[in-house]
Amino acid sequence: MRVLVTGAAGFIGSALLESLGRKGIEAVGVDNFSAYYSPAYKLARLQHLGFPLDSFPADNSHSSTLNSKLTLSSQFSTLSFVRLDVCDRSAMGALFVRERFTHVVHLAAQPGVRRSLTHPYDYLRNNIEGFLTLLETVREYPVEHLVYASSSSVYGTNSKIPFSESDPVDRPESLYAASKRSDELMAHVYTRLYGVPATGLRFFTVYGPWGRPDMAPMLFGRAIMEWKSIRVFNHGEMKRDFTYIDDIVGGIEKVLFGGWKQEGPHVYNIGHGSPVDLMEFIGLLEKCLGREAPKEMLGMQPGDVPLTYADTSALAADYGYRADTPLEEGLRAFADWLKDYRKDG
């Protein structure tokens, strides 16, 4: 067994790579260190996994050829990493020929609903062209299972709750959501035409240590620690299906190694299944960090939605998925990590 993890310097990708390493599973991570947020923060995630920082210059160049050597982790003997842009067709093909992957988790993408309103071409290239390159590569060099990241954003302003895989997803509220729905459709085509064993996971709001710095949990946590005000959109009238990172990683692994379900839906929700009021989330985080922040109450942002709520019954039935981490327990772990990270930084 040999696993490829794309987007391995990202939040979910680095957590998955660590989990695979702890289990002794051979895995190769790739990432292009895009400058959407600080490449130095992404490098710090890799350093946490035992990869030497001097192996990855923190510039934004993209190599057109595959580096000859993988960088090995000093902490996990089964983990390695190479800097690579998944849109690079020749480099991706060379990597598959050399490494002979059996499983793939595709997490590389341009994230961010709000940024998609101002940088649309980034989403076309990274989310659609990048995934197409991967699908073509897997078509040429078959694997046992390809698991790829979709998003709860595909549901748009769906009024039926909880969100179910059978709900209509033809009215996205952002280009980011449209790009993720496009990925699902492309995967469906490659499954039907070429037998690519692809399964998509619609992630709901993920939080935890090493989280994305542009996401609400990190923005709130940093503001609370720095005695700054928190920007609260839609005047706090929002609910999110906050899901702890360990539950997400565990779910990915259950799907990846549980085998492709030929008769399954091929796209699943993965979340906690219990939406939380935004103000309750903020209050619990303030409690965990031991201080309270002033609130700047603002209107709804374009492209955003007031509620996300995952029906995870299909994933539970087909793969035995459960999200076991209570919100306060997850926030306590996140808060403890954030305090240590800021102290060390």
How is residue 121 written in tokens? Answer: 């071409």
Q: What's the one-letter identity of residue 292? A: E
Residues 6+ apart with CB under 8 A from 185: none
CA dihedral 237, 178, 41, 31 (to 10 degrees): 160
Query: Are the CB atoms for 281 and 327 separated by under 8 Å?
Result: yes
Q: Is 96 helix (H, G, I), strand (E, B) or coil?
A: helix
CB atoms within 10 A of CB 57: 12
Alpha carbons 171 and 221: distance in angstroms, whole number: 32
Q: What is the DSSP letter of 310?
A: B
Query: Are the CB atoms for 270 and 204 separated by under 8 Å?
Result: yes
> How many Å separate Cα 242 from the centre of its chain?
13
Strand partners, 230: 295
Catalytic residue among 155, 176, 207, 244: 176
Query: Are the CB atoms for 8 and 32 separated by under 8 Å?
Result: no
Alpha carbons 79 and 230: distance in angstroms, whole number: 38
Alpha carbons 333 and 56: distance in angstroms, whole number: 29
Active site residue 176: yes
Nearest in space to 208 (alpha carbons), one of 1, 4, 2, 19: 19
Query: Are the CB atoms for 79 and 50 separated by under 8 Å?
Result: yes
Decide: residue 74, CB within 10 A, 0-12 exposed, 13-18 middle, 19+ buried. Answer: exposed
DSSP assignments along 206-234, one per residue? EESTT--TTSHHHHHHHHHHTT-PEEEGG
Among all residues, which ones are annotated catalytic? 176
